Amino acid sequence: MRQFINIVGGIAYGITPILGASLFGLFIYDVLPNSIGIGIIGFLGILSLYLGYSIFKKIQIIGPFEFMAAKHATPDLDNLKLSTDSSTKVRMPEEFVELISEKRNLFKGGALRLYNDWFGKPYDNVHLIEKGFYDSETKILTLELDQGERLEIYNPIHIRESSAFLKIKNADRIKLIWFYYGKPQTEENQYFIDYHKTNNKIETNTNVDWYKPVFDVSLGSPALMIYGK
């Protein structure tokens, strides 16, 4: 059902720029009924097909509802100072891991999203935070999750926590390590996805070998979002 919805939504949204280009093309041909007008119409047609196909592919990854929702807050909102009675709290790494060890962390777990890229299907899984460690020398925050997953977050900046989400606005690198679900947690069943922010781009690396991952990363997105249910 999800795949069917994604295909229908992708076609519906993907056809929008093509329809827009067609209407605009009719107007142009009415004004310029010559080779110049035809050339402009051809360029608009190619551009609209590219945009439409890009939208279609995007929706196959995140779904039409996520495409419409645009979940992320803007960077300006991230920089606003929170009031003392806000349900969202600003955390330093040392403070956050201490709260986890004392079971006083507000956020318990949810669906993972790294640099905009979902781990699994959007909102379709829950990963509980069980342990946290922070190395002040290497500036690596490590979060251990309930099914053997591990998040290694290099130089985390701007950690915000509420009962509904955990957000780390910036990080130099995040490595997610997990075991193939349903198989023994042995070295041969261990996999990773590595997101490395460098030179104003995000480089990805993985040892996943049972399919070819399609990464949907974005520099403008938070380094880590974990959405609760």
The structure tokens 């690596």 sit at: 140
What are the Cα distances from residue 60, in Å, to 8, 52, 150, 202?
Answer: 10, 13, 27, 21
How many Cβ atoms are within 10 Å of 15's Cβ, its own excluded? 15
Q: Given this model, what pLDDT does residue 74 score?
A: 45
- Residues in contact with 31: Cβ distance below 8 Å, sequence separation at least 6, in sequence order: 37
Q: Given this model, what pLDDT does residue 90 score?
A: 94
Question: Is the Cβ–Cβ distance between 176 and 149 less than 8 Å?
Answer: yes
69 sits in which H/E element: helix 64-69
For the chain, the farthest-separated pair of C-alpha atoms sits apart, in whole angstroms, at: 74
Question: Is the Cβ–Cβ distance between 116 and 218 less than 8 Å?
Answer: yes
The structure tokens 């318990």 sit at: 108
Domain positions in the chain? 2-69, 75-227
- What CA–CA distance (Å, rounded) separates 106 from 129? 11
Which DSSP string corresponds to 93-108?
Answer: HHHHHHHHHTT--S--
Question: Is the Cβ–Cβ distance between 228 and 165 less than 8 Å?
Answer: yes
Q: Is 152 left (phi over 0), alpha (psi -120 to 50) or beta?
A: beta
Q: Given this model, what pLDDT does residue 61 score?
A: 59
| pLDDT tens per residue across all 229 residues of the chain | 556 776 887 788 888 888 888 888 888 878 788 888 888 888 888 988 888 888 877 676 556 655 665 444 444 445 556 666 688 999 999 999 999 999 999 999 999 999 999 998 888 889 999 999 999 999 999 999 999 999 999 999 999 999 999 999 999 999 999 999 999 999 999 999 999 998 889 999 999 998 888 898 988 889 999 998 6
Q: Which residues pair with 117 in a beta bridge?
A: 114
Q: Given this model, what pLDDT does residue 70 score?
A: 46
